[in-house]
Amino acid sequence: MTLADLKKGDRVRIVAVNAASPSVQRLMIMGLVEGTELDFLGASLGGDPLEFRLCGGAVSLRREDGSNFEVTHLHVDG
């Protein structure tokens, strides 16, 4: 599963990154690296870009770039 496959409200952790693309490398500099936990806030009306909350801030990225980040769901207690 990748960041491009998520549903609004999903909480995930990045487990692998395909860093071949320069745009993905820039996102990694912004904190999208293995082990980072994210909340998927949603997508624009057309489905692109995607918006995520991480490390107290928010980041938007293209669905194409999101497909380079493999994630696993986190289980929220409560």
Q: Note the pLDDT tens digit of each residue in 13-57.
A: 999 999 999 999 999 998 999 999 999 999 998 889 999 999 889
Under a CB-based contact definition with an 8 Å cutoff, are residues 10 and 40 in contact? yes
What the block records as the tokens of 77 is 């207690």
pTM to 2 decimal places: 0.91
For residue 20, being part of any structural domain is answered with yes
6 vs 78: CA distance, rounded Å: 21
What the block records as the tokens of 29 is 């500099």
Predicted local confidence at residue 40, as pLDDT = 97
For residue 44, being part of any structural domain is answered with yes
Candidates 26, 65, 25, 59; CA nearest to 40 is 59
CATH of the domain at 39: 2.30.30.90
For residue 78, being part of any structural domain is answered with no
Under a CB-based contact definition with an 8 Å cutoff, are residues 73 and 59 in contact? no
Predicted local confidence at residue 77, as pLDDT = 62
Q: Would you say residue 78 has pLDDT above 80?
A: no
Domain count, the chain: 1
